[in-house]
Structure 1
Amino acid sequence: MNRLPSWIKQHLAALRAVLVLTAVLGVIYPLVTTGVAQALFNGKANGSLGETGASSLIGQSFSDADGNPVAKYFQSRPSAASYDMLATAASNLGPEDVIDTPDRASLLTQVCTRSAAIGQLEGVSGARPYCTPDGVGAVLKVFPTRAVSVNQACPAQPFVTTYEGVPVECGKPGEDYAAGRTVPIRGGATAVVPPDAVTASASGLDPHISAAYAALQAPRVARERGLPVERVNTLIEQYTTGRSLGFMGEPAVNVLELNTALDKG
């Protein structure tokens, strides 16, 4: 071996390293991690596939072919990824995204629109702070002698007539209001629709909703299925998970498991 040229020795050393690393990282490590996952997290490691073939770990839509909510099912929270595991992502829109553009509704308007739609579906008020009665962001662009409700395109009636003594106009499509001061108007509305009903999760795949959102939907689901609302509330409690480690986060309801239990009767 000592008589071998140095370049052959280097190649043999590299080959031994490849074989050792392949055995450790390609065989031993996967077997150990798989064994630990199976022992500690068996359901999650196997994908938690239920009788429907869907995973309770991944959020999904309970809507018809036209995208309308199926009334007999509990609805999931919104998803910026359309519940697609290959497109998991957040919208990356923040609290300052309040003005609509010709090609996209602002985050504020998306929240307002969702809240109004959910209010109509559940038979409650969909009003919330910083939203107009017609379901868009209540935002003004204020100039020295005028104010514009920029998210209410003409001929819409502005949600307020004046602001600090200045008349409020509807927004004229194509007009540039960038020079104005942006003023969101809070208004006096109190939100009934919970926040998770109108905002997407960071992953876009969250399979849970809050207990408050589940409680809001319970009367509709019970009515559509001809069940006592008490029975539906009992199932909500059954499929509600507690806080992580007993203190992190809030109790949450797994939507797929709850809807599957309802289908079983």
Structure 2
Amino acid sequence: MSLSDLIRQHLAALRALLALTLVTGLLYPAGIWAVGQLPGLRDKANGSIIENDGRIAGSSLIGQSFTDADGAPITWYFQSRPSAAGDGYDGLASGPSNRGPEDIVDAPADPALLAAGSDAAAAGFEPSLLTQVCTRSHEIGAREGVDGSRPFCTPDGVGAVLAVLGTFAHDGTVTPTRVVSVNEPCVAGRTGPGQVFLAEYQGVRVECAQYGEDYSAGRIVPVPGDAPADPTVPADAVTGSGSGLDPHISPAYAEIQVNRIAAARDIDPAAVRDAVVAHTAGRELGFLGEPRVNVLELNLDLDRRYPVSGPAGGA
């Protein structure tokens, strides 16, 4: 290849590079930005930012927690659904917990580490998805003054799961010789009959779980119990969304929080319900999805209408 041909090819490649850089690197992004600034699109393109008294309070598209410095729910605010995104609603760690319906057995804490002063997580405790749901439902029930019980949960708010050990028949039945409540570890005051959620299973006394024992040879049996099939605490109150960033809760979850909010703000519950209705969106196109309540917008509206007195008030 001659030198002139080589130069001509490189110049053609350089022209193509410059043209594509101009089109895809400058003109196309500028065009998309310009379209995003059109009336009706500008707010969404800029992040759907919500301001409160001249400062950014958040986005209507991304949820956030309404808790104090210790992580406790602030009593005069509606609470969001749980989030598994980072430490909660972290836009850089969006995602679910990746736990499924078969995740029902907890990883127990080392009692020696607990006795030495370690917290449960540092001692190795890792709750199953079932226990997370049960614990949240139990805590919400206590906080909102409603029935927090739900199927497959113990009255104390952990997964009601048994390991049934015994003789297995060819038809799959088992004659139990030992039954263990795997999510209720043996601790002080929980060593004898009646100290676990179920005293007896098929005529065999139910034991608490001994740390370090392997119950994998048994059949894992979740026990539905006598809780209502339709729990008072709705599903979105105890489970996170797929993104971990959902800014909405269901009207049912909002409803069970109304009395607490009204008492904390010293207003009529009817006024809180009116605010909930004002911030409830219906199904998209009338049939897609479910009705939903934007938590941030609702809390900010309540702050404007019914501010909490004292330095702690305000979102």
Q: Could you tell me the TM-score, scaled by structure 1's length?
A: 0.95
The answer to whether residue 122 in structure 2 is matched with residue 84 in structure 1 is no
Give unmatched runs, 5+ long, in structure 1.
none
1:64 aligned partner, one-letter code: D
Could you tell me which of 211, 215, 229 is aligned with 1:177?
Answer: 215
1:229 aligned partner, one-letter code: P
Q: Offset at 1:4?
A: 5.4
Give unmatched runs, 5+ long, in structure 2.
109-123, 167-176, 306-315
- Whole-angstrom CA distance in 2 between matches of 1:205 and 1:84: 7
Q: Which structure is higher in helix share?
A: 1
| Other-structure match for 2:103 | 97
| Other-structure match for 1:159 | 197
Q: Offset at 1:252?
A: 0.4
1:114 aligned partner, one-letter code: R
Structure 2 counterparts to residues 10-29 of structure 1, below 5 A: 10-29=9-28
| Other-structure match for 2:7 | 8
Structure 2 counterparts to residues 55-70 of structure 1, below 5 A: 55-70=59-74
| Other-structure match for 2:135 | 113
- Whole-angstrom CA distance in 2 between matches of 1:64 and 1:222: 19
Structure 2 counterparts to residues 1-265 of structure 1, below 5 A: 5-39=4-38, 40-52=40-52, 53=56, 54-81=58-85, 82-102=88-108, 103=124, 104-144=126-166, 145-155=177-187, 156=190, 157-190=195-228, 191-265=231-305
List structure 1 segments (4+ residues) > 4 angstroms apart after TM superposition. none
1:173 aligned partner, one-letter code: Y
**Residues 187-220 of structure 1 deviation map (CA, whole Å, 9 limit, x = unaligned):** 1202110100000111111110001101111111
- Whole-angstrom CA distance in 2 between matches of 1:133 and 1:24: 64
2:62 aligned partner, one-letter code: I
- Whole-angstrom CA distance in 2 between matches of 1:88 and 1:205: 7
Q: Offset at 1:158?
A: 1.5
Q: Offset at 1:223?
A: 1.1
SS of 1:33's partner is helix
- Whole-angstrom CA distance in 2 between matches of 1:37 and 1:246: 26
- Whole-angstrom CA distance in 2 between matches of 1:243 and 1:226: 32
- Whole-angstrom CA distance in 2 between matches of 1:35 and 1:166: 72
- Whole-angstrom CA distance in 2 between matches of 1:14 and 1:167: 81
**Residues 152-190 of structure 1 deviation map (CA, whole Å, 9 limit, x = unaligned):** 011332111122222211111111111111111111202
- Whole-angstrom CA distance in 1 between matches of 2:24 and 2:89: 32
- Whole-angstrom CA distance in 2 between matches of 1:246 and 1:12: 58
Q: Identity of paired residues, percent?
A: 59
Q: Offset at 1:227?
A: 1.2
SS of 1:51's partner is strand
- Whole-angstrom CA distance in 1 between matches of 2:234 and 2:43: 30
Q: Offset at 1:230?
A: 1.1
Aligned length: 264
Residues 42 and 242 (structure 1 numbering): CA distance in 2 closer, same or farther, change over 3 Å?
farther
- Whole-angstrom CA distance in 1 between matches of 2:15 and 2:221: 67
2:43 aligned partner, one-letter code: G
Residue range with higher mean Cα deviation, 199-208 or 17-26: 17-26
- Whole-angstrom CA distance in 1 between matches of 2:148 and 2:6: 75
